[in-house]
Amino acid sequence: MFDEDLIRKWVDNGTINPEQARKMSEDLAEYREEHKSKGQIIAFSVIGTILIGVGAILFVASHWNGIPDYAKTLLLVGSTLGIHLSGYHFLYQKQKYPRLGSALLFLSAIFFGASVFLIAQIYNVNANSHFLVFIWLLGSLPLVYGYCSTASAGLCSLLFFIWGGLLYSENRRLEEAIDILDLFLLQGLALYLVGTLHELFEKVKSAARPYKFIGLQATLLFLFLHTFRLNYEFGKTTPIIYAAIGTLLLILLLPPSLRTRLRSYQTDVGVFILVLLLLGMSLVTGYYPENEKTYMIVFNVIFLGVLIMLLYTGYSSENMGAINTAMFWFIPFIIARYFDFFWEMLPRSLFFIAGGLVMLAISILLERKRRELKARFGREKA
């Protein structure tokens, strides 16, 4: 998208005349205002639907003991279907309110999950079971693929991690086979892989972005948590899963016919390199165990390398998402290492003053660089 500076440059170069520049400025202002209003509508729709959902659930809960079991079940199922049909009506039949319809469909996914857990409670089923979360996940998937709901895709991504955590806590064999942080890290990489697969098919491409975004953020989060660990041992099945994810990513990245259909190919290559590094670490750990601090150092190097790689790929491919992600994760990484290295070396007051000044300087530099890159990419695309 062009901006006012670019319009003035075109006028100075004689590319456009002042009248055309005035018209372009008006259209640009109108576009920005419309884009802003759309964002406000989406925000109000989402907040409104969440408030309605919370209120309805609280209403049912407050009258829970006085309602017969069959009536509770009918009320929950009927509310979920009613919200779903209302969303469908506004989204497809009365197409003047598509954002309201999308918000109601997302609310129906939340209501479906609440209904699953409340009905389980009615019939004395363990509400902490991973199976109930799995049912919620499966019941929300049709909204992702039937209505191209990106919000529901985000919800399914979060449910995927919740289901994995509950499954891990309930299964003793799984605890023996893999570490909990490794499980979440593998889930993040697997979700990113699923998002990459979705980019290849036009009908499901809308789900690719939330899958890849949440998968990448989860991968970075649990990789960051690994940088604190001194005692570490990979599970026996971990290298096998890393190898499977790496092989599938390689199959997607090598053929030119597939490569050209991937929007963030360079970032995908970065994730593939990360998988290879983690695979190598898991194999080395299994056959040649090192001392405790070695793993902490290696994970810190890998995490820092991934952030630098994201900055590079974002800059070279003009991908602001990758740049913003890298800049966001640089801050907690620097804070954590600052506490590690300087907590005992400096007096407490000086420690916090120096740390605060460093953080302010870093945040200003990162924000300034981010704006410069965003403006530059916008001018180059125009």
Q: What is the pLDDT of residue 381?
A: 47
Q: For 12, how many CA atoms within 13 A lie in the half-sphere containing its CB?
A: 6
Residue 213 lies in a domain: no
Total domains present in the chain = 1
Which residues of the chain fall below pLDDT 70? 1-11, 13, 15, 21, 24-50, 52-57, 59-64, 93-96, 127, 229-232, 286-292, 341-382
Residue 103 lies in a domain: yes
Question: Is the distance from CB of 253 to CB of 268 less than 8 angstroms?
Answer: yes
Residue 169 lies in a domain: no
Instruction: Give the chain's mean pLDDT.
Output: 78
Q: What is the pLDDT of residue 368?
A: 67
Q: Round to whole Å and give the CA distance between 8 and 238.
A: 57
Q: What is the pLDDT of residue 317?
A: 75
Q: What is the pLDDT of residue 99?
A: 74
Question: Is the distance from CB of 1 to CB of 378 less than 8 angstroms?
Answer: yes
Q: What is the pLDDT of residue 339?
A: 74
Q: What is the pLDDT of residues 198-210, one digit of tens each?
A: 998 888 888 999 9
Q: What is the pLDDT of residue 382?
A: 45
Cβ-Cβ contacts under 8 Å for 281 (sequence gap 6 or more): 234, 295, 298, 302
Q: What is the pLDDT of residues 241-258, one digit of tens each?
A: 999 999 999 998 988 888
Q: Extract long-range pairs of 102-106: CB within 8 Å, 24+ residues apart.
A: 102/45, 102/147, 102/149, 102/151, 103/42, 103/45, 103/46, 103/48, 103/49, 103/151, 104/49, 105/143, 105/147, 105/149, 105/152, 106/46, 106/49, 106/143, 106/149, 106/151, 106/152, 106/155
Q: Round to whole Å and give the CA distance between 312 and 262.
A: 18
Q: What is the pLDDT of residue 380?
A: 47
Residue 371 lies in a domain: no
Residue 134's domain spans which residues? 1-138
What six digits make up the tokens of 185? Answer: 């890290």
**Where do the DSSP E strands lie in the chain?**
none
Q: What is the pLDDT of residues 348-359, one digit of tens each?
A: 555 556 656 666
- Output DSSP code: residue 201: -
Within 10 A of 323 (CB to CB), how many other CB atoms are there?
23
Residue 206 lies in a domain: no
Residue 7 lies in a domain: yes
Residue 25 lies in a domain: yes
How many angstroms from the chain centroid is the CA of residue 72?
Answer: 35
How many angstroms from the chain centroid is the CA of residue 366?
Answer: 21
Residue 158 lies in a domain: no
